Amino acid sequence: MSIQEIINWNELDKSAKKRLIERPNVAIDDRIRATVETILDKVGSSGDQAIKQLTLEYDGVSIDQLKMNDIEIKNAIKRTSNQIKDELKKAIENVTIFHQNTMASPSSKIEVKPGVFCEKIIKPINNIGLYIPAGRNPLPSTAIMLGVPSKLAGSKNRILCSPPNKNGLIDDSIVTAASFCGITDMFKIGGAQAIAALAYGTESVTKVDKIFGPGNSFVTMAKTILSSTTEIAIDMPAGPTEVLVISDGNTEPDYVAYDLLSQAEHGPDSQVIHISSDREFIKKVQESINRIMQNLATKDIAKYALLNSKSIWVQDIKAAIDISNSYAPEHLIISVENSRQYLDSIESAGSIFLGYWSPESAGDYCSGTNHVLPTSGYAKSLSGVSVESFTKSVSVQELTKTGLENLSKTITVLARAEGLEAHAKAVEVRLRDND
């Protein structure tokens, strides 16, 4: 199947519907895992020396000093055009406004019972690792999406890793964006070796407590392995990017075509799905895609993604919403009239784009929301990156003597029901000694 075939949803049986919205299996998982485990072992045992050897092997660059020094950072910013610097600053401003206004506030101190006070306090995760992809396309926007909320959260140590270019430096626009977000510790390391360096720590790279950022299959596998075998936490297992567009046929076909292609051009394993209640409109979008692809600079990448993408015809928008909720897309574009009326019906999506004037690319760069989002169906249980992602909540309780007296019977009875005598005695000894 491909996006050029129109699939009639109503003609499919239950099992066929389930198969249709399954993500494609990654057949090379075992080979990737074996390669990544070898990389993790090398970095874990040999640190910087292994990273330099792996950087030469995988990136084709010989690096003497892994960390970007002040002169390299200043020169990178100087080489970045004023136009790009101006727009980076505008994007940072919008992302800051959104994230600042959605920051979680510590819960107020409450008196649960007389003399029993409870509260929740918010603390930053101080040691943060940020991975910024720069393989086929350097992504300074990801530096913004991770740099802004981690700064607002108050994370003290932010360690950024990004693959070196042919000159042995991090891409200038990434360096500039990161610097504008107040990040100073930047390392010229990519791939699984970067994740290993952040997780284990090396002579140059400080060990972190949580790792953020999307990447290729090797990066994702490294994050997955380390999050299950060490104390390192990760933001989410981020797989190939995806978009699902729901349309009613009342907009320009080119709008939907470019929305689909904007995700397809990310990589050959990207997945794009178009669901519409208007069969003729699906055909028009397909015609637009064919026409646009002729002159699209990224057509060689997009064409492979389109082979694994789908066009689905449904009877009404409600049916489209039901499919979307089952699929749980990373990006969901609701390109229909009065799109807001469907918002409450959406159960699972990484980020939602309402209406004809809300392209997915706005969220990728500068609308203000975060573009580091759950893929592969994880939107059913996980959220995109936010300020809260860089914090942890700590519960606090403070009891007066009266408060402990009020809880004493409950504590002692339940403790002894569980066979935990010291728990009960910890209460009784306090009340006895203070009679």
Contact between 237 and 260 (Cβ < 8 Å)? no
Note if 266 is an active site residue.
Answer: no
Distances (CA, A) of 56 to 65, 163, 221: 13, 11, 21
Residues in the chain: 435
Contact between 314 and 323 (Cβ < 8 Å)? yes
Contact between 218 and 192 (Cβ < 8 Å)? yes
Contact between 348 and 328 (Cβ < 8 Å)? yes
Q: Two tokens at 88?
A: 């980076």
Edge to edge, what strands does the sheet with 210-212 contain? 185-187, 157-161, 127-131, 210-212, 233-234
Contact between 90 and 177 (Cβ < 8 Å)? no
Note if 423 is an active site residue.
Answer: no
Three-class HEC string of 320-332: HHHHHHHHCCCEE
Q: Two tokens at 415?
A: 């403790």
Contact between 379 and 326 (Cβ < 8 Å)? no
**Of the candidates 134, 105, 121, 153, the residue with the CA atom closest to the CA atom of residue 370:** 153
Spatial distance between the Cα atoms of 232 and 128, rounded to a whole number of angstroms? 10
Active-site hit among 99, 274, 331, 371: 331
Cβ-in-10-Å burial (0-12, 13-18, 19+) of 324 comes to buried
Spatial distance between the Cα atoms of 327 and 294, rounded to a whole number of angstroms? 30
Active-site hit among 330, 337, 418, 423: 330
CB atoms within 10 A of CB 124: 16
Beta bridge partners of 212: 130
Three-class HEC string of 303-358: HHHHHCCEEEECCCHHHHHHHHHHHCCCEEEEECCCHHHHHHHCCCCCEEEECCCC
Question: One-letter amino acid identity for 196?
Answer: A
Beta bridge partners of 247: 276, 335
Spatial distance between the Cα atoms of 371 and 94, rounded to a whole number of angstroms? 13
Based on its alpha-carbon atoms, the radius of gyration of the chain, rounded to whole angstroms, reads: 25
Spatial distance between the Cα atoms of 9 and 84, rounded to a whole number of angstroms? 44
- Residue ranges of alpha helices (H) inside 102-214 are 140-153, 172-180, 191-200
Residues acting as catalytic residues: 330-331
